[in-house]
Amino acid sequence: MLCRFSALAGFIIPFGNILGPLLVWQIKKNEIPSVEIHGKAALNFQITVTIAAVVGMMVALVLSLICIGWLLFPLVILIGLAGLVFAIIAGLKANEGKDYRYPYSLNLIK
C-alpha cells in the first residue's frame, strides 16, 4: 500500500510520482514480498502517465500555434486526474491484500 500511495508524491515534488514508488520499491522489495509486485505495477503506471502527460502537453503547445491546441489542455488535466484516481484505487486494493492491474499501463519494468 505504501508503494501505491507514494505515487501521490507527484503533487508535492516534481516527478515525485515516479520517484516515490521507485524508492519504496527499491527499499522494501526484499522485506515485504508484495511490494515487488505492487511496486513494479505502480512504477510502470506512473511512468506511463508521465509520458502521456508530457506528450499531450507538447502536442497541445504545438497545436496552440494554430489555435486548436487549447482543446487538448483539458485532456492533459484528465490524464493527471486519471493517474491520481487509479493510484488511490490501487492503494485501497493493496490495503485489502488484492492485486490491482492498472489500465493502459505500459510494461516497461519487468
Note whether residue 103 is domain-resident: no
How confident is residue 42, by pLDDT bands cut at 50, 70 and 90?
A: confident
Q: Does any domain span residue 110?
A: no
Domain enclosing residue 28, as ranges? 2-95
Tell me the mean pLDDT in the region 82-100.
Answer: 86
Rounded Cα distance, 91 and 85, in Å: 10
Residue 70 lies in a domain: yes
Q: Which residues contact 9 (CB under 8 A, 6 or more apart)?
A: 16, 17, 19, 20
> Which of the four pLDDT bands, split at 50, 70 and 90, describes residue 52?
very high
Count: domains in the chain: 1
Q: Is 105 within a domain?
A: no
Report if residue 101 sits inside a domain: no
On whether residue 100 sits in a domain, the answer given is: no
CB contact at 8 A, 35 and 28: yes
Instruction: Answer whether residue 86 shows pLDDT above 70.
Output: yes
What pLDDT, on a 0 to 100 scale, did the predictor assign at position 32? Answer: 79
Q: Is the pLDDT of residue 53 over 80?
A: yes
